[in-house]
């Protein structure tokens, strides 16, 4: 998620934002002072000073010859945020039911700016595991959960989302084909990922709503193409929708009946 640049930051908060930029850089794979400076544009000496302070506060960890890694303090904060999440707490029972029923990997995700962030994951029981993690980020337009999260936004927003992902992450499905699929998904209340975010990985997803009917999360059942052909994906649609509906009801949503 982007932060304001230095020119728009109050002087008193610049050090804080730069420190957060250093943490973000390490999380993104920059492990040396020079690499962090290259990624952030912060002066070498300033990076060294900030990184040393962050190590002292346990936000970063330093190992000789290996460099900087995320520290134990972030792990503590991550678990605290996880435990404090209303959506995560409400969803866990239904996620476990989906995992037991399908044997596949189960994800709970939400929008965070221009990407998707995973709130929870239950690993599958298949021989091949899906490579994802709680707190990990993915693009919107090529993931099942991403598409489920924007189903209610409408076509104008879909095109803007597609343009952004095409520029930053790559979208392998042509725009007209992707929009046509989104129209179908919006009617059906579900979405697919057909090897779009990774070769051989497929998922069925559905939106989770709060008491106002607003989409606040998405749940998905994810497996490999070896176990998830088109027929199985069709079978999973009502299963995933029921799971998403149950979570929504725990959040106070009630489906309107005609």
Q: Domain containing 68 — which CATH number? A: 1.10.10.10
158 and 141 inside one domain: yes
Q: Cα-flanking dihedrals φ and ψ of residue 112, to 5°? A: -140, 95
* pLDDT for residue 34: 95
Examine the domain organization and report whether 17 and 95 are in the same domain. Answer: no
Specify whether 153 is located in the same domain as 190: yes
Name the token pair of 123. 């690993």
What's the predicted TM-score (pTM) here? 0.70
Do 91 and 184 lie in one domain? The reply is yes
Q: Which pLDDT score, from 0 to 100, does residue 12 have?
A: 56
Q: Considering 76, 102, 134, which residue would you say is the last residue of a domain?
A: 76
pLDDT given for residue 1 in this prediction: 45
- What distance in Å separates the CA atoms of residue 236 and residue 232, rounded to the nearest whole number? 6
Q: Which long-range contacts (CB under 8 A, 24 or more apart) does 176-185 make?
A: 178/141, 179/155, 182/147, 182/151, 182/155, 182/158, 183/155, 185/147, 185/148, 185/151
Residue 224 and residue 174 share a domain: yes
What sign results for the dihedral spanned by CA atoms 174, 179, 185, 189? positive
- Tell me how far apart the alpha carbons of residues 38 and 47 are, in angstroms, rounded to a whole number: 10
Residues 70 and 94 in one domain: no
Domain boundary among 41, 76, 111: 76
Quote the domain boundaries for residue 116: 85-250
pLDDT for the residue 257: 45
Per-residue pLDDT of the chain (258 residues; tens, 9 = 90+): 455 555 555 555 788 899 999 999 999 999 999 999 999 999 999 999 999 999 999 999 999 989 999 998 887 777 666 555 688 888 999 999 999 999 999 999 999 889 999 999 999 888 777 778 888 899 999 999 999 999 999 999 999 999 999 998 878 899 999 999 999 999 999 999 998 888 888 999 999 998 889 999 999 999 888 888 999 999 999 999 999 999 999 888 877 543
116 and 185 share a domain? yes
Q: Where are the alpha helices (DSSP H) in the chain?
A: 11-27, 33-40, 44-56, 72-84, 86-102, 144-149, 155-168, 175-188, 230-250
Are 68 and 125 part of one and the same domain?
Answer: no
Tally of domains within the chain: 2
The pLDDT value given to residue 132: 84
- Domain-located, residue 110: yes
Same domain for 69 and 133, yes or no, is: no
Residues 127 and 208 in one domain: yes
Q: Is residue 1 part of a domain?
A: no
Q: What is the CATH number of the domain that holds 199?
A: 3.30.450.40
**One domain, residues 209 and 156:** yes
């Amino acid at each position: 998620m982007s932060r304001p640049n230095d020119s728009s930051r109050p002087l008193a908060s610049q050090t804080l934002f730069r420190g957060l930029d250093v943490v973000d850089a390490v999380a993104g794979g920059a492990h040396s002072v020079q690499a962090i400076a290259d990624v952030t544009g912060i002066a070498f000496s300033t990076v060294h000073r900030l990184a040393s302070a962050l190590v002292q506060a346990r936000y970063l960890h330093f190992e000789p010859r290996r460099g900087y890694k995320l520290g134990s303090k972030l792990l503590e904060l991550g678990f605290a945020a996880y435990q404090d999440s209303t959506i995560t707490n409400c969803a866990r029972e239904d996620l476990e039911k989906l995992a037991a029923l399908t044997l596949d990997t189960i994800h709970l995700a939400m929008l965070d700016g221009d990407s998707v962030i995973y709130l929870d994951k239950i690993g599958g029981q298949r021989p091949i595991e899906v490579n994802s993690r709680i707190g990990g980020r993915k693009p919107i337009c090529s993931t099942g959960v991403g598409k489920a999260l924007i189903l209610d936004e409408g076509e104008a927003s879909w095109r803007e989302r597609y343009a952004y992902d095409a520029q930053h992450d790559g979208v392998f499905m042509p725009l007209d084909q992707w929009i046509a699929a989104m129209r179908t998904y919006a009617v059906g209340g579900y979405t697919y990922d057909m090897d779009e975010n990774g070769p051989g990985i497929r998922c069925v997803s559905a939106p989770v709503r709060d008491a106002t009917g607003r989409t606040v999360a998405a749940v998905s059942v994810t497996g490999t193409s070896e176990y998830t052909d088109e027929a199985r994906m069709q079978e999973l649609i009502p299963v995933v929708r029921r799971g998403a509906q149950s979570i929504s009801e725990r959040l106070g949503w009630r489906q309107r009946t005609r």
